[in-house]
Amino acid sequence: MNARYARSMFRTGTDTNDVKMEDVLCDFCLAPWIDTLPFMEGHQGSHICGPCVTLAWRATVIFASEPPYTDIPACSCTMCLEQRIEPAFDSSKREAHICRRCVKMAAVMLERDVDNAWQRPER
C-alpha cells in the first residue's frame, strides 16, 4: 500500500495504486468525496468533510469551555497526528478525532474555497 494512504479511509475494494475521488471517505462520517461535498485533507491522507467540520466547529469552538481542560484527556488528532490537550471532535463511526486547532484550520480552508459555499456555523 502506498505510504501516503496508510491512515486513509477508502471504499472496500479500492485500488490504492489508482485511487479515485469517490474512493476516498471522510474519516469521521464515512461519506464519499464527491464534487458537491467539500473535503479537507490532513496528514497521511486523512480527510474530513464540510458537514463534519460544521459539527466539529460547534463542539470545539462554540460549545467548548475555555482552558484549562483538566477533564479532557490528550488524544491523537487524526488530521495533524499530534496529541493535544484541548477540545476535540470525535467520530461516532470510528476511532477518529480532530483537535480544535485543526478544526479552525479546516474552517479557514473551506471558507476560502470558491467552489463550495461552506460557512462557519454561528450556533
How many structural domains comprise the chain? 1
pTM of the model: 0.83
Domain for residue 66, yes or no?
yes
Q: How confident is the model at residue 65 (pLDDT cuts 50, 70, 90)?
A: low
Q: What phi and psi values does residue 112 have, to the nearest 5 degrees?
A: -75, -20
* Burial label, 78 (beta-carbon count in 10 A; 0-12, 13-18, 19+): buried
Domain for residue 121, yes or no?
no
Q: Which domain holds residue 21?
A: 3-112
All cell numbers assigned to 14: 479500492
Name beta bridge partners: 76.
83
104 or 95: whose pLDDT is higher? 104
103 or 10: whose pLDDT is higher? 103
- Where is 75: in which H helix or E strand? strand 75-76
Q: How confident is the model at residue 68 (pLDDT cuts 50, 70, 90)?
A: low
Domain for residue 86, yes or no?
yes
What's the average model confidence in pLDDT over 92-108? 92
